[in-house]
Structure 1
């Protein structure tokens, strides 16, 4: 089959755009189909975690993220000023935010920042408050720079997948492609048409999140609040509200969210009878429907993001989980397209990402159980809240939420293997992340070992080799980093290159000379 594009990505949200950027960076032709004609401005995720920030930093996008974060901090400050001006009582600057679990806030001043799991992100650690809409705009601009063919206002209507490619049908004609990636959200058309099983647990809640104009808000508590009728959050930006009711899922998730609906929910769960919503700028409903496909691949069709797994938004894991899928899949699919992928590389996408997705589903289920407005759950929440007043518990929850403990089960016994590579400060004044902008793998020879460099011969089209010292890590002699930033091999001096050849072949295939 002659292809119009190497890969077609269904869905032009942050996950689809991130995947498209990764593919384009690897010189793979990609078409993105997005049914919306402009960036989705619906209020969704408000922050990115450590793996997401690291991934974007490694592609040179940190300045854009930092600018977005500065704007977000300005909106948070505006919220505090508005509450003070409206006469709200007890308004004060909250402790430094370290995340939340089931709405129980984690105080940054109780965080053990000396914990070794926090050692490594480098400048990416300074970025977190990045709303989903802003991230989508940044990734859209990046995709345009890389020449991604983003087709807005085009809907995927069907496809025929065969052994040699996929014939994709759209509202604007048909495309022939080698691979189809479904990044089209929780109600994925690709997942449904491909017949992926989607087991999980049914929803129990109706949630709303919105940006509104309202009066009477000074009577609302700031942050997360728990009552006998549900849960609500107010802030941290002007007009932002979130409500959770535990009386079943909404009758119609697709119906427009009205001011009346939001007002009724807010009054019910807050008990503030005179809070009045006058205008709605952005609103969405959500549930705690928690499902995951058993395998992220079916032949030439792959899934990423909410198309592969859905869950409640509590803890802010959804966007980040999807970006992680895209970064993991991108280089592996590109290697497959270019023909140098070793056997099983593409299948390692499911093997590595599925366990993380399963953990997130359990993590969100636990939070819903803890938030229920009934006596046993409320008692347990009190216990957890008391625990989070300790350094040990705050650090435990923060490490989980931030993603710094994420690790893939890869061959090798070095402590760094399978973990995100530390952003080493190198002797030439650069950092490790500076050398991953091109999307290739990276082999650091930190001990001037000719055998390490000799092992990399024939991988020049897939791996960048850098001989440099690292004054801050004198015990580290070598490091092999995959394109997604994962440490594939590491050795401490004077260990030599043992295991490097096997790691190179496992992740980067046969060297060019051997293939010839």
Structure 2
């Protein structure tokens, strides 16, 4: 392959672009990652991961490598929906996992991982132009020197203002909120303000709990996610936008908090080493790409969808986009992708983005002031005492309600694989550990050889593992590399054998001769 030729070029070395590069590398596909920044950004943005993405990281062995607690990830006992408390006590199969890792640390950890896999990450290099041609994309790169790359595929993971998306003419319809402003920053607070449950006792106002607090003047957020680095934020509605280009200041943050609380919060600029968060968000966009691909160009993460961060859905959505796209691009590069496989990236992930935007818009609407909204929140608080309603919100926020079309009638097919503890020839394993290599897995939970014999025709691309598990609700599962079930069976018989062959062919192509 000529030096300037590469399987995949990824524009953007944020979490999503790096995750995709790692997925491709695990599949033996070469990617070059370009980013205009000279080095990973230290700007504090997302504060962690919420939802099924935590299990996805566990599937790749990254949960523990990046600092997760020993053992399997544990779901949260409680959470919030637009500041309304959610309690998961007694909820079967609680899907609300969380992993507190600041975005700068996540990016550095992902970069270390992908570089260890041999990925070429080029800081200070950005996509300056692109031309699609039969079989690929010619990418013009601007850096210390300008050059060109000839790629089979180009992926735009270059943010909400994506150059790649604009260059291929993909529309980005949606909604822009023009009358709300959020301000957030790290601060220093006196110890005597802190309460034992993680909230604050503010002089002249009273107690506010940890997290999002909807007030009649707007919203107030307090979270001390890292010891000694409390984060506060104000949210105001029905206000004029700040003139573009106006620098954000600590005094502006202090004034916004004062207007929302009605009293001064005795806070000071943060102490200790930075960088510290201090930013303003106005004209909040909720937008989604009309389509996630155009020819051999694909969109990923914020390039495909932008929305409010309320509830923490962004990285759950974007990193699972990367896992969905990665194995499909790899299959296309290696030549065994069945017809239409790449098209399923859009058909599967676009509806998931729609639901995330619905959730974030609903949470924002429920945060606005007014007696009508107060009444709705009171009613919802009562409704969320019912376990079935809490389960619905938990599934929505975590992405556990995601279901892909598989043409397979089993209730597990198209769903994220449930957690299972297995007894295998290698000892006790969790089902997540079977997907470390990001390869498809046929997991058989019976000693009947029928299904492994069928899958042996695909042994170059599908691993077969036999195990036992008392908690298993199926006799066999065909798992995609992204952790979703492509086929499942409760029994071993001719009908299910035919369904297995159909699923293997649909998702992993015809077997080699």
**TM-score band, normalised by the shorter chain?**
0.7 to 0.9
Deviations 1:25-83 (A, max 9, x none): 1111111112223332322222323321111111111212444899xxxxxxxxxxxxx
2:48–2:102 CA contact under 8 A, matched in 1: yes
Aligned partners of 2:84, 2:467: CA distance in 1, in Å? 45
Whether 1:136 and 2:104 are equivalent positions in the alignment is no
1:43–1:210 CA contact under 8 A, matched in 2: no
CA separation of 1:171/1:68 partners in 2, compared to 1, >3 Å: closer, same or farther?
farther
SS at match of 1:458: helix
Aligned partners of 1:104, 1:191: CA distance in 2, in Å? 36
Aligned partners of 1:485, 1:347: CA distance in 2, in Å? 19
Aligned partners of 1:395, 1:453: CA distance in 2, in Å? 36
Tell me which of 147, 155, 164 is aligned to 1:181: 155
Q: Which moved more, 1:498-507 or 1:197-206?
A: 197-206
Aligned partners of 1:134, 1:315: CA distance in 2, in Å? 20
Aligned partners of 1:249, 1:68: CA distance in 2, in Å? 44
Aligned partners of 2:291, 2:437: CA distance in 1, in Å? 29
CA separation of 1:396/1:249 partners in 2, compared to 1, >3 Å: closer, same or farther?
farther
Quote the residue 2:117 is aligned against: 146
CA separation of 1:362/1:67 partners in 2, compared to 1, >3 Å: closer, same or farther?
closer
CA separation of 1:185/1:126 partners in 2, compared to 1, >3 Å: closer, same or farther?
closer
Deviations 1:190-226 (A, max 9, x none): 1122211011112142212321235687527342322
Quote the residue 2:498 is aligned against: 498
1:156–1:171 CA contact under 8 A, matched in 2: yes
Aligned partners of 1:465, 1:254: CA distance in 2, in Å? 57
Quote the residue 2:38 is aligned against: 37
1:222–1:235 CA contact under 8 A, matched in 2: no
SS at match of 2:164: helix
Tell me which of 326, 331, 337 is aligned to 1:330: 326
Quote the residue 1:59 is aligned against: 60
Whether 1:507 and 2:498 are equivalent positions in the alignment is no
Whether 1:412 and 2:413 are equivalent positions in the alignment is no
Quote the residue 2:293 is aligned against: 297
Quote the residue 1:369 is aligned against: 365
Tell me which of 229, 233, 238 is aligned to 2:221: 233
Q: Which moved more, 1:164-173 or 1:254-263?
A: 254-263
SS at match of 1:497: helix
SS at match of 1:181: strand
SS at match of 2:421: coil
SS at match of 2:264: coil
Whether 1:380 and 2:354 are equivalent positions in the alignment is no
Tell me which of 265, 274, 277 is aligned to 1:282: 277
CA separation of 1:342/1:13 partners in 2, compared to 1, >3 Å: closer, same or farther?
same
Give the drift of 1:355: 0.5
Give the drift of 1:481: 0.5
Cα RMSD between the aligned structures? Answer: 2.5
Quote the residue 2:474 is aligned against: 476
More helix by share: 1
Deviations 1:457-516 (A, max 9, x none): 33122110123333332x622111011111000100244523001100100001011xxx
Whether 1:100 and 2:75 are equivalent positions in the alignment is no
Whether 1:165 and 2:136 are equivalent positions in the alignment is yes
Aligned partners of 2:83, 2:244: CA distance in 1, in Å? 23
Aligned partners of 1:403, 1:126: CA distance in 2, in Å? 11
Aligned partners of 1:302, 1:249: CA distance in 2, in Å? 36
Give the drift of 1:253: 6.2
Aligned partners of 2:110, 2:246: CA distance in 1, in Å? 29
1:166–1:300 CA contact under 8 A, matched in 2: yes
SS at match of 2:276: strand
Give the drift of 1:289: 1.4
Quote the residue 1:6 is aligned against: 7
Tell me which of 233, 238, 250 is aligned to 1:242: 233
Q: How many residues align?
A: 479
Question: Which TM-score applies when normalising by structure 1?
Answer: 0.87
Give the drift of 1:252: 5.2
Gaps of 5+ in 1: 71-95
Whether 1:486 and 2:484 are equivalent positions in the alignment is yes
2:316–2:398 CA contact under 8 A, matched in 1: no
1:260–1:277 CA contact under 8 A, matched in 2: no
SS at match of 1:208: strand
Aligned partners of 1:152, 1:392: CA distance in 2, in Å? 48
Quote the residue 1:316 is aligned against: 312
Aligned partners of 1:176, 1:336: CA distance in 2, in Å? 16
Quote the residue 1:266 is aligned against: 257
CA separation of 1:285/1:492 partners in 2, compared to 1, >3 Å: closer, same or farther?
same
Deviations 1:75-124 (A, max 9, x none): xxxxxxxxxxxxxxxxxxxxx7522111223234xx333x2x44xx8xxx
Whether 1:355 and 2:351 are equivalent positions in the alignment is yes
Gaps of 5+ in 2: 194-199
SS at match of 1:499: helix
Aligned partners of 2:15, 2:490: CA distance in 1, in Å? 38
Quote the residue 1:462 is aligned against: 461
Runs of at least 4 residues of structure 1 off by over 6 A? none
2:140–2:149 CA contact under 8 A, matched in 1: yes
SS at match of 1:320: helix
Aligned partners of 2:325, 2:373: CA distance in 1, in Å? 39
Q: Which moved more, 1:463-472 or 1:258-267?
A: 463-472
Aligned partners of 2:365, 2:36: CA distance in 1, in Å? 35
